Amino acid sequence: MRNGVQTIPAVPELAPEERTPRVLIVLEIVDLLKQRVVQLEEIVQQLRDEIAILKGQKPRPQIAPSRLEQTGPPRPPPEGAKRPGSQKRSKNAELTIHETVEMKVLDAPPGSVIKGYEDFIVQELIIEPRNTRYRRQRVETPDGRSLLAALPQGVGSSFGPKLISYILHQYHHCGVTQPLLLEALLEYGIDISAGELSRILTERKEDFHQEKAELLPAGLAVSGYVGVDDTGARHQGHNGYCTAIGNDLFVSFESTDSKSRLNFLEVLRRPHTDYVINDVAVGYWEQQHLATGLIDQLCQEPQQFADTPTWQARLLELQITGERQVRTATEGALLGSLIAHGVSAELVILSDGAPQFDVLVHASCWVHAERPLVRMVPYNEANRVAIERVRQEIWELYRDLKG
């Protein structure tokens, strides 16, 4: 058996006295049948690949044979071609040399002449604990007060910043579990408990949260487009969604309870909390066919509201209580807030075509533009050729635009 398919056994060798004319004819027929089976297997696989493509699935991958199974000496490169691997960069070209040790020939005979040195570089990694004791002087002033010398700037924990950075890197970026990380630190000679390690990983991360909050508005301010998508995810034990926003410059992830357009706009305008009525908000309301009378009411002063309770109070004051009316009015005010804080009204939102992302300048990526063609099932060969031609034209246009 091979890959779940029963293989055809090889024909055993025959003794000379067994190779009669009738037996030779049977062997020839068996050989022809084996060749025919191989041809039919190839045809069946081609048909399976074609069916998979029509269903939007991937065909069987073409895996090159392993070089380890090749017999005989390797083929020489074509004339004029460089030896494989000869164009690689020097392994030590970008190394920083921390220490240089001169090794002299100890048993050179008299009259020998020094002809320079030949470098031999050894890379090493040193991981060792380094503990610093700060002896803080304590003095008593004439008036009876007790003064204690201050620690150096940046020292506020029993664990140094480099050690904390190493712990965070191993846990968050390298995927090392907390028990394994604790075991490694103890082996390195670090005196740390499981509770202290947990506190380093989970507590006093305000600086990281502040940096994360500043990332999205900074990225939107310098971007001409952002790619967006959302997916189901569990957060703090509850089912929710994770929205990804980014491009070549940055990426931001936000966990929320829904994936509506209202939620998407709230994520975009973070960390701000206000609602603003301006030309962009009015244009959105008109595009969504909000009643003209409601738009006129909303455009009356005031036109900026500090937070959600203030905005909801304004809607109640104007007697705007219908579900669609409240949702549309809020989406427009969120969009107005986004523009008021410096985001371009021409920002392109590149998505898979989901309606919650249909704000500002909405565009679909090339893969999702082609996807309906992939799912089409042709009735005949002419249909199949027509679909393939259009798909090829799409990607030719994409390559031309990219060029």
Closest of 59, 54, 60, 49 to residue 373, by C-alpha: 54
User: Considering 204, 234, 269, which residue would you say is the last residue of a domain?
Assistant: 204
Q: Give the CA distances from residue 186 to residues 128, 160, 189, 202, in Å, rounded to whole numbers and listed in that order.
A: 11, 16, 5, 20
pLDDT at 67 over 60: no
Residue 325 maps to a domain: yes
pLDDT at 9 over 80: no
What does the pLDDT read at residue 289?
92
Query: How many C-alpha atoms does 194 have within 13 Å on its Cβ side?
Result: 5
Measured CA to CA, the distance from residue 175 to residue 168 in angstroms comes to: 10
> Is the same domain home to 371 and 353?
no
Where does the pLDDT of residue 42 fall: very low under 50, low under 70, confident under 90, or very high at 90 and above? confident
Does one domain contain both 370 and 343? no
Residue 47: the pLDDT is 86
In a shared domain, residues 171 and 291: no
Task: Tell me, yes or no, whether 199 lies in a domain.
Answer: yes
Entry pTM: 0.57
Band of the pLDDT at 261, cuts 50, 70, 90?
very high
Same domain, 231 and 197: no
Assess whether 325 and 245 both reside in one domain: yes
**Across 25-34, 174-183, 383-392, least confident range:** 25-34
- Encode pLDDT of 101-157 as tens digits: 999 888 889 888 988 889 888 888 888 888 999 999 999 999 999 999 999 887 878
Q: How many domains is the chain partitioned into structurally?
A: 3
Query: Angle, to 10 degrees, between the axis of helix 323-340 and the axis of helix 279-287?
Result: 150
In sequence order, the β-bridge partners of residue 364 are 351
Burial environment of residue 49 by CB neighbours within 10 A (0 to 12, 13 to 18, 19 or more): middle
What residues contact residue 217 under an 8 Å CB cut-off, 6+ apart?
A: 270, 271, 272, 341, 342, 343
3 state SS of 276: strand
Predicted confidence (pLDDT) at residue 46 exceeds the cutoff of 60: yes
Q: Which amino acid is at 148?
A: L
Closest C-alpha among 259, 282, 256, 280 to residue 351: 259
DSSP 171: I
289 shares a domain with 185: no
**pLDDT at residue 4 above 50?**
no
Same domain, 336 and 272: yes
Any domain includes 217: no
Q: Is residue 90 part of a domain?
A: no
Stretch 277-301: mean pLDDT: 93
- Shared-domain flag, residues 232 and 353: yes
Q: Is residue 102 part of a domain?
A: no
Q: Which domain holds residue 378?
A: 366-402
Q: Percent of the chain, pLDDT > 90? A: 47
Q: Where does a domain end: 177, 204, 231?
A: 204
* pLDDT value of residue 237: 80
Task: Verify that 192 and 237 share a domain, yes or no.
Answer: no
Share the mean pLDDT of the chain. 86
For residues 8-28, give the mean pLDDT: 76
Same domain, 354 and 228: yes
- Strand, helix or coil for residue 176: coil
H-helix segments, 253-380: 261-268, 279-287, 292-298, 308-317, 323-340, 366-375
Residues 287 and 235 in one domain: yes
Q: pLDDT (tens digit, 9 = 90+) per residue, 195-211?
A: 999 999 988 888 888 88
Residue 191 pLDDT exceeds 80 = yes
CB 259 within 8 A of CB 245: no
Q: Residue 316: what residue type?
A: L
In a domain, 253, yes or no: yes
Q: Which residues of 71-88 are buried (b: 16+ CB within 10 A; e: fewer)?
A: eeeeeeeeeeeeeeeeee
In sequence order, the β-bridge partners of residue 231 are 242
pLDDT at position 90 is 64
Classify residue 6: in a domain, yes or no: no
What is the mean pLDDT of the segment spanning 310-331?
Answer: 93
Examine the domain organization and report whether 246 and 342 are in the same domain: yes
Structure-model confidence comparison of residues 346 and 22, the more confident one: 346
179: in domain: yes
